[in-house]
Structure 1
Amino acid sequence: MKKNMIGLNEKQARVLADDLNHLLADYQILYTNVRGYHWNIKGRDFFELHAKFEEIYNDLVLKVDEIAERILTLGATPVHGFSRYLSMSDLEETLHISNGTEAIGHILSAYQVLLNKQRQILKSASELDDEGTVSLMSDYISQQEKETWMLNAYLQ
């Protein structure tokens, strides 16, 4: 069995990196969507949501970089280019959203997609003994579970 530069099964690491590339595409689409919500939000909750959306997209852009670097660490190449992201992502672009409730609904739906994928990646990484990816996914899952709770509470 051939090992990659960090001592993991090369074939299994490639499969995991492919899953991470799909996750990267989802993050890039969500990042762009949330940027749009930030720019276009209107209404009485403008100030609060404008700031919240900025917080979210700043967090997403950090995760984009971490995922891409993890893909490189596994010995693969991160996908780049929005045409590739759009074709690979399970998320869709959302355009012309200015209603806060609608924007939060889209974010919550996207988090469900991310949480499901991240749990699957965590399981695969665990089976590979890839502690680096396990740790990353675990951190993302716990943070997004809390964010999901908080956004749902906001909508009540």
Structure 2
Amino acid sequence: MTDTNSIGLHEGSASQLAEKLNHLLANYQIFYMNVRGYHWNVRGSDFFELHVKFEEYYTDLLTKVDEVAERILTLGHKPVHAYSDYIKLSNIQEEKDVHDGKTCVKGVLKGYQTLIELQRELLALASDADDEGTASQAGDYIREQEKTIWMLNAYLSK
């Protein structure tokens, strides 16, 4: 009997990674819903610009939700899928009734900063476990989101 899973990772490491990925998944789901809310409810002189930008963000976040869940399954574990679990696990808090454009953008910025922090932790854990698949996924997300943070900060400095 072996202590590795079907993709050759040590089962203990795969379990730790799946737990960290489920934490990340919860944060993605809550952040996704926040950005959806910003898209629906933003008002003001930047409405047209922000409405389109928030749709771009939530579309990308939804893709990443699916990719993170599928990575958990690839590791041989189950992704959490109840919003009650997401609320318990997420560092990102639900945003309600936010409609001011600048406040919405600050919420997006804070959400991406939280995701990057979690993904850096995941990247370190994946590297220690020789899990190139998870490390690559986390690294790709970090790179994209760092650029987004730069752009959001540039927007807020206007």
Under a length normalisation based on structure 1, what TM-score does the superposition of the two structures give?
Answer: 0.98
The offset of 1:8, in angstroms, is 0.2
CA distance in 2, matches of 1:51, 1:108: 16
**Partner SS, residue 91 of structure 1:** coil
Question: Aligned residue for 2:79?
Answer: 78
Please report the RMSD computed on the Cα atoms of aligned residues, expressed in angstroms: 0.7
List gaps (5 residues or longer) in structure 1. Answer: none
AA partner of residue 122 (structure 1): L
The whole-number CA distance in structure 2 between the counterparts of 1:65 and 1:152 is 27
Provide the C-alpha distance between the structure 2 equivalents of 1:33 and 1:129, rounded to a whole number of angstroms.
34
Q: Name 1:64's counterpart in structure 2.
A: 65
Q: In structure 1, how many angstroms separate the alpha carbons of the residues matched to 2:110 and 2:51? A: 19
Q: Deviations over 1:90-146 (max 9, x none)?
A: 111000010111011111111111111100100110111101001100000000000
Alpha-carbon distance in 2 for matches of 1:41, 1:115: 25
Whole-angstrom distance in 2 between the partners of 1:93 and 1:119: 23
Cα distance in structure 1, aligned partners of 2:106 and 2:126: 30
Equivalent residue pairs, number = 156
Counterpart residue identity of residue 145, structure 1: E
Shift of 1:44: 0.5
Aligned to 1:155: 156
Task: State the distance in 1 between where 2:28 and 2:115 align.
Answer: 8
Which aligned segments of 4 or more residues in structure 1 are displaced greater than 3 angstroms? Answer: none
Distance 1:77 1:90 in 2: 20
- 1:41 corresponds to: 42
Q: Which amino acid aligns with 1:90?
A: N
SS class of match (2:15): helix
Q: Distance in 2 between matches of 1:36 and 1:116?
A: 23
Q: How do 1:92-111 and structure 2 match up within 5 A?
A: 92-111=93-112
Q: 1:7: which partner in 2?
A: 8
Equivalence for 1:136: 137
CA distance in 2, matches of 1:97, 1:33: 9
Q: Which runs of 5+ in 2 are unaligned?
A: none
What amino acid maps onto 1:94 in structure 2? Answer: E
**Separation (CA, whole Å) in 1 of partners of 2:36 and 2:110:** 16
Distance 1:147 1:112 in 2: 10
Identity of aligned residues (%): 56
